[in-house]
Amino acid sequence: MTSLLKFELGTYFKKPGIYIAFILLFSAGFFIGLKLSFSPGNDIYRNSPYSIANMIGLLSLTTIFPTTILAAQMLFKEQDAGFSLILYATGITKAKYLFSRFGALFILSLTCFIVLIIGYLFGHLADNERSAYREFNIWFYVQPVLILGLPNLLLCAVWVSMVAWLVKNKLMVYLTGLFIYIIYLIVLTYSGSPMMAGSLPQSSDALDLSARIDPFGLSAFYQQTNLWTVTQKNNSLIYLTGNFLNNRLFYTVGSLLLMLIVYYRFKFHIHDGSHSKNEVALTGEETSVRLFKPLLGATRGYMYPFFALQSLVKQDLKVLIKSVPFVLIAFGLVFYLGMEFYGSIDQGIRLPEQYASTGLMANRIIYNLPGLLLLIILFYAHELYWRSATYHFDMIEKSTPVARGIFLISKWFSLMMVIVILTAIIIVTGIIFQLIYRYPIDWQVYLVLYWLIDFPLIICAALILLLQYLIDRKWTGLIATCILLVLLVTSIGKSLGIAHPLLRFAAPYAARYSEMNGWDHYFNSFSWRMLYGASLVTLLWLVVNQGINRLSKRQLFGLSLPFIVCMLTGIYIYKQAPSANAYVELDHSENYERFYRKFKGVNQPVVLGVKTKIDLYPNRRAYQVAGRYRLKNEGATPISELLINWDVNLKVKSVTYQTGGHNESLSTKTGMIKLKKPLLPGDSAVLGFLFSYSWNGFTGHQPFNAIVCNGTFIRISNYFPCFGYQTDMEISSPSERRKRHLGNASSLLKLEAPRGRNEFIDLDMIISAPTGQTVIGVGNLARLWQSKDRNYFQYLSGMPVPFRFGISAANYQVQKVYYKGIDVQVYYDSKHFENVKHLIKNAERTLDYCQANFGPYPYKTIRFAEVSAFTDGFAGTAYPATIFMTEHLLFHDNLNTDQGQDVINELAAHELSHQWWGNGQLAPDEREGSKLLTETLAMYTELMLARRYLSARAVQEKLAVHKNIYLNERGFTKESPLYKVKPEDTHLYYDKGILVMYKLTDLIGEENINKALKHLLQKHTYPNPPPVASDLLTELYKVSNTSQHAKINDLFVH
């Protein structure tokens, strides 16, 4: 067996291709180590035991693909070469054959994996940012290879070998690799993995089950390490205990036992039934007369290629679709997408069930299906292209009068049908879910999926076949195709800088569908990109098939159409695509900091009033703003220069400055501007400006600047000009700052720093939108009117408010209730009416509680406005008198299934309480602890209302969820005291905050807390000085016993 093993390995190690593969794997590992090292928090070292083990565990999953490819090549060598009969006639025993072949497969796969890890290690060593690393320890790399990599490699090798030897079907081997990958995706969703950023918190039972059954051990790894502190993650190796030890032992022993089963089931001889018919013929027991009859067929004429193409496609589809692998692929996709559909509807333990709308199904299909179909098409195309050569039928094909191009086109058509059929199966699965959950079906959305998902895959199929044809080497062609698709289609290519739409002509649709807004301009840009890609690939096919030097004038004329289409669409895309990239934006931030940081703290005018006119053009995805600032120099020194800052995405048209009868035009770019007449202390001035903004599907939109056809939301104050040096325009990434030698970023204002001024303004907004759309602003609606097919709305603050205002616009339905002197209004999409009454009811409850305990509501109206899913980054966000909420995180939840998961109750209480904590009354400046006074107090209000209207069990479950989130997140950053919490530590002021406030109610009582909060408001509501976190502690001390102060300090200070 040793000699056979040496022979097997020697065969491959003599091939140059294996060394090319090693170079590629080493390069990939080096790039991952240098650029993509997993470090979820700045306080976790990139080469900490946790980071390395996590990355090696994830990299071990990638061995599915090289192991599958090697198995398909190694385990079918005799079958492909027609050598099986000779092999069976030798003296090689079954044991020697199986274990030498399996040993060679495992050693080659292990070598590939080790080369990848060595590249990863050298990537760490080559990184110049040594402050992100601890001292080097080789065991940190070796241990996870032994306990994660080796068992996972063994599992993959055993499974693909079992299928290869027992099923004897190469496509089934590929399918096994795909199924292993699908299992990984499903299990990882329930693993508590920090890599699954979009996943929702899972119950402890789900996490425990996932840790037990995960064949790759990552779920058990996360279960063991998710509650570790930063110190543990930086220093501790994985413990071989508990579920992790049981998992590794079970799958390692199980893999070995499975290999023994394969040994006993494998038949090392010719199949018994393969010669039965031949024996009958040879013995003469059955004779028949078969006469040769020549078949005359037309091989000329314009219809012959069509008939040949039809016959070839029919033959390929018969082989593909009626096969067992295809049925298993369909079953696997239905199972996986079914799990995803259910997960999207169920939403885990944190959020209530969502309605099974077509939009929900479509977004899940868009997110999950293209990648899997691409893998399926990649291997199907590979097998289909080489099928004739594998069965030694290619010489006969070449002797036929059918052009080679017809054979290629037939395979392309066959792959096209496979894509369409599998997509149809998944769409039917989504429809079945909707029928089960009794929700209306939007057939048009499902039909559009064929264009958004299938067409780029059809282009990919053409590219795969074209590359195989050009390279004409089986495995080299497969590897080259994989590399090309990774670069042009996946997010990996984007991270390498291949992001321009002209290069990503075969990439799938990446935006989401909104029930309020549809596809918007992303559909148009995608269609332009597909037209460009189709014409480009058609051009390549025609040139490659005919050869440019052999083209006749007629054929050259035929090339003109795709050439013209390719050129015109390419020029259009080039003009529409963004000219800047992430590096340009970083350069801009670097230059801004280098030039203007020295002006930090220089006296600049303050804004006392804003008067603005905003014209929205949703169909053009654009808006224009004309505004006027009322300025005042409240400092002690004259202001001779203005540092004006503009968002880089705006088109600033004019800026004017007026003071004391003096007018001048200023620069429209960010920078320091010297005034002709200085603004003296106590003097006032007016700054006028005009700017516009627009976006398209190629540039993309910003989540807080989403001007869309229906469901617009713009945090418009973010895009108004601001004065003085802005620290939020600095580069925040520590690694990027080190590369650019920028030193430390500006630190957050310390809690003990002198108090700032209240930056409140008088706000007057006139907003226009097309007829049919309602615009929601902040403050009180003063008047509305129509003029020239446009609706106009004027909103006045009525009282000074913080410099923070937003707007929304849509074809709204509205429901209003006049409650105790306050207009409660809900603006919603006509399809999302289900939770409106419940939202109003909870708003009334929140108003009652807050007014009774904290003080009167300061406005005449409270509005809730739904915005489209194109806005991202929040479930709800509060502004003076207005709360904006996204369609997919509140308005479309099915609260009938579980009253304990009442997100309406949570968000209504939380966001409405911000009218006291952070939007018009208590508005601290940004410094250490400021979020304690806004978000934590809003969480407290949310908790108190939950205790009133939910069961005690539901409240405890709510607290348990927040505790779980806090414990999981705290292991990635060093924890600061709650009274000095930083804005980036959301798990502290949200999740720990609600737990602390719950303990505080047990300590001093809800009544005393509310008394302290009411006093805090009375002392620090505008125009009184803004509060800091220590002011809250002072008020809590006043309403508590001296003996309780130490425990209060334990909650907030320690």
Q: What mean pLDDT is predicted for residues 955-973?
A: 88
Q: What mean pLDDT is predicted for residues 831-852?
A: 93
pLDDT at 391 over 90: no
pLDDT number for residue 276: 44
**pLDDT tens digits, residue range 505-542?**
999 998 999 999 999 999 999 999 999 999 999 988 88
Q: What mean pLDDT value characterizes the chain?
A: 87
pLDDT at 286 over 60: no
913 pLDDT band, cuts 50/70/90, is very high
pLDDT at 566 over 80: yes
Lowest mean pLDDT among 609-613, 757-761, 991-995: 757-761
Q: What percent of the chain has pLDDT over 70?
A: 91
283 pLDDT band, cuts 50/70/90, is very low
pLDDT at 628 over 70: yes
pLDDT number for residue 308: 83
Select the more confidently predicted residue: 85 or 739: 739
Q: On the CB side of 397, how many CA atoms lie within 13 Å of its CA?
A: 20
Residue type, 845: R
pLDDT number for residue 645: 95
Q: What mean pLDDT is predicted for residues 291-319?
A: 73
**pLDDT tens digits, residue range 635-657?**
999 999 999 999 999 999 999 99
Report which of 498, 519, 506 is spatially closest to residue 582, judged by C-alpha positions: 498
Which H, E and C letters describe 820-860, residue by residue?
A: CCEEEEEEECCCCCCCHHHHHHHHHHHHHHHHHHCCCCCCC
pLDDT at 900 over 60: no
Q: What mean pLDDT is predicted for residues 404-411?
A: 83
pLDDT number for residue 446: 96
Give the CATH fold of the 608-725+758-809 domain.
Answer: Immunoglobulin-like (2.60.40)
Q: Are strands 760-770 and 801-802 parallel, antiparallel or unpaired?
A: antiparallel
Give backbone dihedrals phi and psi of 189, rounded to 5 degrees, phi first.
-60, -35
For tokens 């291949």, what's the residue?
A: 498
pLDDT number for residue 277: 43
818 pLDDT band, cuts 50/70/90, is very high
Residue type, 298: A
pLDDT number for residue 178: 79
Cα 915 to Cα 912: distance, rounded to the nearest angstrom: 6
pLDDT number for residue 270: 56
Q: What mean pLDDT is predicted for residues 841-860?
A: 95
In 902-972, alpha helices (H):
903-913, 930-931, 937-949, 952-969
pLDDT number for residue 550: 63
Lowest mean pLDDT among 121-125, 241-245, 543-547: 543-547
Which CATH homologous superfamily contains domain 922-1054? Neutral Protease Domain 2 (1.10.390.10)
CATH 1.10.390.10 maps onto the chain at 922-1054
Q: What mean pLDDT is predicted for residues 838-854?
A: 95
For the purposes of burial, counting CB atoms within 10 Å of the CB of 807, is it exposed (0-12), middle (13-18) or buried (19 or more)? buried
**pLDDT tens digits, residue range 111-159?**
999 999 999 999 999 988 888 888 999 999 999 999 999 999 999 999 9
Cα 170 to Cα 154: distance, rounded to the nearest angstrom: 20
Select the more confidently predicted residue: 491 or 349: 491
**pLDDT tens digits, residue range 185-242?**
776 665 555 555 445 556 677 778 888 888 888 888 988 988 888 889 999 999 999 9
Q: Are strands 861-867 and 822-828 parallel, antiparallel or unpaired?
A: parallel
Number of C-beta neighbours around residue 436 at 10 A: 11
Asked if 659 and 701 touch (Cβ cutoff 8 Å), the reply is no
612 DSSP β-pair partners: 627, 765
281 pLDDT band, cuts 50/70/90, is very low
Cα 253 to Cα 248: distance, rounded to the nearest angstrom: 8
274 pLDDT band, cuts 50/70/90, is very low
CATH 2.60.40.1730 maps onto the chain at 608-725+758-809
